[in-house]
Structure 1
């Protein structure tokens, strides 16, 4: 679990709920079914309208990376690559065939299988880089779903506020309804701005950082496998991969 993300979510709730209480409005002032429908449901509708089904599904799948990003250990990966290099130099590349099925990561499994099959190093690089590029492109497209939510939510918050004020104007003859009506109107603005700046946009940026880190780890794997395919000395491979550990 990503502790910083959890702390951030908790502080976001504290900032809104605590601020409301400290301002004297009370938590009840934040509850508005109408504002929820206009802002949250409206934001979802706008995103669904602009997003292909496959991209939206991928966005929902990777949303969990905000709190629980893929766990990887670069140092352990380097040590694994060095072990494969030493073993392949002593026993040949075919020795690695038993290692293929044991790899939980499909990307590593694919690269290792090509290495065992004797594919040329440059061909391995080309195919794995295409795989990496395609995966990265799909993941970044998925993050734009949350960016879209962050863009639409504040605007729909303003729409909710305007609709609320329209309802207030219709009740000008009853002064007792003006105060609560205006307060309820601005609740939609709070929903829109708070959800965008405390949830949707931070989620998009966090996912981008996770994707960038994941791509860096994929590049480490590519360089390691290419070095093994070229028969480089394990000490040279270790020096070659050291830059990925910083």
Structure 2
């Protein structure tokens, strides 16, 4: 919803200012220029990115247009980790086998749909709990393994953002391509009426305008928005990593959760008392 509001402000301001300057909307409607610029941009994205990244771009844009990760996302992660760690404390890590192998049908995981929407986070939790269950690890070894995994995950999650940003950087160039082709068309009509030549030149200039506007008003903001989603997801992953390392160190469940809580940015970080109330229900 915030992304939609942003686009309304961007395009409303640009078009509103143009109309205030006595511009005519009909002059901006140049379907041929749009086809050249948007088509070239999409084609370049298809050439330079694998299908996995292209699908991920669509998924991330849908998230930006929806709620994305809500304020309760980290609360749900903390509550889930509390249940998992308490199960380990009371019954041993082997008790989690069914939950780890089939999180989609797990009574514990199903309580937290906001966590389940992130396949990356669910896989991170289950894979590392499975690794911990397979053999005893000290916290230094686990921390080193998790650090490498988090670095790789962040690079992978940022690929859609980087793809959008690269395309955004190219948009002014595609606008120039459309403008040059517009000038070619104008030169073909150089012997015609002066009014016609003026219309053709204006249409060519619209191509440059569209390219620059799409670059800085659409593609770059979407790329930044996707990067913002990744940062939120990485915070949850880093928090989970800190909790797992603290658990292996032998810390009590609440202290292990507190180690993860401290990773969160201030706008998402609950106090220790708030966190304790969330997870214990007291």
For normalisation by structure 1, the TM-score amounts to 0.86
Aligned residues: 244
Describe the SS at the equivalent of 1:172: coil
Match 1:6 to one of 4, 11, 34: 4
Match of residue 84 from structure 1: 84
- State the superposition RMSD in angstroms: 2.4
Match 2:56 to one of 55, 58, 75: 58
Q: 1:83 to 1:57 in 2, by over 3 A?
A: closer
Query: How many angstroms apart in 2 are the aligned matches of 1:124 and 1:97?
Result: 19
Q: Residue 238 of structure 2 contacts residue 260 of structure 2 at CA under 8 Å; is this kept in 1? A: no
Match of residue 17 from structure 1: 15
Q: 1:121 to 1:223 in 2, by over 3 A?
A: farther
Q: Residue 120 of structure 1 contacts residue 229 of structure 1 at CA under 8 Å; is this kept in 2? A: yes
Match 1:236 to one of 255, 258, 263: 255
Alignment of 1:181 with 2:200, yes or no, is yes
Match of residue 25 from structure 2: 27
For normalisation by structure 2, the TM-score amounts to 0.76
Moved more, 212-221 or 92-101: 92-101
Query: How many angstroms apart in 2 are the aligned matches of 1:233 and 1:142?
Result: 39
Structure 2, unaligned runs of 5 or more? 110-115, 117-121, 267-282
Query: How many angstroms apart in 1 are the aligned matches of 2:138 and 2:80?
Result: 19
Match of residue 75 from structure 2: 75
Query: How many angstroms apart in 1 are the aligned matches of 2:187 and 2:180?
Result: 10
Q: 1:42 to 1:238 in 2, by over 3 A?
A: closer
1:203 deviates by: 0.8
Match of residue 149 from structure 1: 167
Alignment of 1:113 with 2:111, yes or no, is no
1:45-89 deviation digits (Å, cap 9, x = unpaired):
233333344433333333323323345622332233234333432
Moved more, 119-128 or 230-239: 119-128
1:124 deviates by: 4.2
1:220 deviates by: 0.7
Match of residue 227 from structure 1: 246
Q: Residue 244 of structure 2 contacts residue 256 of structure 2 at CA under 8 Å; is this kept in 1? A: no
Q: Residue 21 of structure 1 contacts residue 27 of structure 1 at CA under 8 Å; is this kept in 2? A: yes
Query: How many angstroms apart in 1 are the aligned matches of 2:203 and 2:143?
Result: 58
Match of residue 201 from structure 1: 220
1:121 deviates by: 4.5
Q: 1:13 to 1:129 in 2, by over 3 A?
A: same
Moved more, 106-115 or 142-151: 106-115
1:214 deviates by: 0.9
Q: Which has the higher contact order (CA 8 A, sep 6+)?
A: 1
Query: How many angstroms apart in 1 are the aligned matches of 2:215 and 2:136?
Result: 48
